[in-house]
Amino acid sequence: MSEKLLMKGNEALGEAALQAGCQLYFAYPITPQSELPEYLSRRMPELGRVFLQAESEIAAINMVYGAAGAGARVMTSSSSPGISLKQEGLSYIAAAQLPCVIVNMSRGGPGLGSIQPAQSDYLQATKGGGHGDYHLIVLAPASAQEIVDLTILAFDLADQYRTPVMIMGDGLLGQMMEPVLFPDRTNVELPEKPWATTGRKGDRPKNIIHSLELQSERLEAHNQKLQEKYADIAATQKRSDEYLTEDADVVLVAFGTVARICRSAIDMAREKGIKAGLFRPISLWPFPDEALARLAEKERVFLSVEMNCGQMVDDIKLAVDCRRPVHFFGRVGGIVPSPEEVLAEIEKIMAGRCDA
Amino acid sequence: MQHEFIFAGFGGQGVLLMGQLLAHTAMDEGKRVSWIPSYGPEMRGGTANCTVIVSDREIGSPVVSRPSCVVAMNLPSLDKFEETVKPNGVLVINSSLVTREPKRQDVTVVKVPATQVANELGNARVANMVALGAVIEATGVVTPDGLMKALKKNLPPHRQNLLPLNREAIEKGRKTAQE
């Protein structure tokens, strides 16, 4: 373990990527994640690795496509509007089954929106975003330390499943400084990549990476293979965390920054004698529906708190199979809800004045 | 025990740095900490503030609407944040630049002529350290010794010559708060 360092989330993410063995980084600057390219622009040349500020987000994601195809650990990052531009490339990368890490420190939308924190890219991240039947693994950290841990995990999962993995943060997580520890990563063996286009020396068949398949039967078979992979990921890679859910009458469901705010609101509610708890999805895809379903076995209500207009509510309703009421409270436009606002919502629900 | 601070002033007064130095100190003293800046389309001479939380337990929301301590380095900051201080909290005011009396009667008010003291020390830029000295004296959030150590650790090598000046600024700030 390293010495404890006080770092911004964006910088901690950059350092974690380096320690995970990220060899190349391609991106185009955008607030509120620009400290990440800034940090890597300094550190990657020191380590003899590639930092490249591309001419656009679209160029950056296609550079990622190429580098991932050659078998390198590679990352790109952006914020909401820039992530939209990358969607075509993400679809191609998912189709070609290439491992890479994409960071979205999301901001208020739609359109150019604002530079303040938001979570309004939930649906884009978890339901596709680009065209075709594919998924990203989406991980949502809630602290600087978790940014470090999940970034390293993201690279490992990407290689394990040959799939793009997204780190879904928000402007506040990127800008916030918190203490972080970097795990000891010496002697980590990276997986073999026999499929990579590393240059054939006559000793193996050609490796060809592409996403075009004009023969329908073969494309269907490829899709089925992808779906089997996604089923495998869904069966093994659901992650979540809980806080005081055991006896909770109202379970808040929130991820990232908002989960932190909910935690404070829950402490305030408990002081007032209201039994509130928190369910925090860490993997947004696959959504941790089984853990949430277990909570729904007991008579209780759910409250989704998000910095968007309710994009996660459907996933929660599906998980609890509509057996329990699911309420929603959200702020948008770059406004971060306060613990007091969330507490007021909890009190309103508990007073039975709010219909689901 | 949890302390929540909002440091506010105009861009260039070093309010973000004050908060960072406090967070570094508290972290080195074994506390949980978080620091967030107000960020937005900022410009030089505009307002700047940051929120620092120092706690014995895991920090929930890094955003606070009712801080236990507000440090107002100029008048617009006092106008904006005076009302937010928790009852029985601490309000530290840079009395060199704040011309009015605070309205709050239910908080401990610490007036520090930070800019004036810094000027007397020969460098207006250490006004933030004068105020920080007053903050740690008034709240006891970290030890003076810990702050001095963090200062030394976090000053870059080519700025280590400014250590005595900053130390003196912090000491003067502490003394003001004792009075």
**pLDDT of residue B122 exceeding 70:** yes
Q: Do B36 and A176 touch (CB under 8 A)?
A: yes
The answer to whether A261 contacts chain B (CB < 8 Å) is yes
pLDDT of residue A142: 98
Domains in chain B: how many in total? 1
Q: Which of A236, A257, A288 is the last residue of a domain?
A: A236
The answer to whether A4 contacts chain B (CB < 8 Å) is yes
Distances (CA, A) of A263 to A126, A238, A342, B61, B117: 24, 21, 10, 7, 42
- Amino acid identity of residue A95, one-letter, is A
Consecutive H or E run containing B158: none
**pLDDT of residue B56 exceeding 50:** yes
Q: Do B62 and A116 touch (CB under 8 A)?
A: no
pLDDT of residue A356: 47
pLDDT of residue B97: 96
Give the Cα separation of B8 and B23 in Å (integer): 15
Query: Among partner residues A4, A179, A261, which is closest to B63 by beta-carbon distance?
Result: A261
For B103-132, what is the mean pLDDT?
97
Domain housing A267: 241-350
Query: Among partner residues B24, B36, B60, which is closest to A175 by beta-carbon distance?
Result: B36
Q: Is residue A154 located within the same domain as residue A249? A: no
Residues ≥6 apart with Cβ < 8 Å to A28:
A53, A54, A55, A56, A57, A59, A60, A78, A82
The answer to whether B34 contacts chain A (CB < 8 Å) is yes
**pLDDT of residue A240 exceeding 90:** yes
Q: Is residue A228 located within the same domain as residue A274? A: no
Distances (CA, A) of B148 to A77, A270, A327, B122, B133: 37, 39, 49, 20, 10
**pLDDT of residue A202 exceeding 90:** no
Confidence of residue A286 (pLDDT cuts 50, 70, 90): very high
Q: Is residue A104 located within the same domain as residue A174? A: yes
Domains in chain A: how many in total? 2
Q: Is residue A252 located within the same domain as residue A193? A: no
For A140-157, what is the mean pLDDT?
98
Q: Is residue A88 located within the same domain as residue A119? A: yes
Domain housing B131: 2-178
Q: Is residue A232 located within the same domain as residue A271? A: no
Return the sign of the alpha-carbon dihedral for residues A305, A309, A315, A318. positive
Mutate: best of A2, A6, A175, A341, partner B, most B CBs <10 A: A6
Q: Is residue A54 located within the same domain as residue A69? A: yes
Min distance B43 CA to chain A CA atoms (Å):
15
The answer to whether A245 contacts chain B (CB < 8 Å) is no
Q: Is residue A31 located within the same domain as residue A112? A: yes
Min distance A152 CA to chain B CA atoms (Å):
22
Mutate: best of A105, A176, A177, partner B, most B CBs <10 A: A177
Convert B84-120 to b/e letters by CB count within 10 Å (16 or more is b): ebeeebbbbbbbbbbeeebebeebebbbbbbbbbbee
Q: Which residue from A295, A250, A291 is spatially nearest to A268, judged by alpha carbons?
A: A250
ipTM, two decimals, is: 0.95
Measured between beta carbons, which residues in chain B are less than 8 angstroms from residue A178?
33-35, 62
Q: Is residue A298 located within the same domain as residue A329? A: yes
Please tell me the pTM assigned to this model.
Answer: 0.96
Give the CATH number, domain containing residue B85. 3.40.920.10
Give the CATH number, domain containing residue A329. 3.40.50.920
pLDDT digits (tens, 9 = 90+) for A31-85: 999 999 999 999 999 999 999 999 999 999 999 999 999 999 999 999 999 999 9
Q: Is residue A161 located within the same domain as residue A272? A: no
Please report, rounded to a whole number, the percentage of residues in chain A having pLDDT higher than 70: 99
The answer to whether B42 contacts chain A (CB < 8 Å) is no
Do the strands A283-285 and A276-281 form a parallel or antiparallel pair, or are they unpaired? unpaired
The answer to whether B27 contacts chain A (CB < 8 Å) is yes
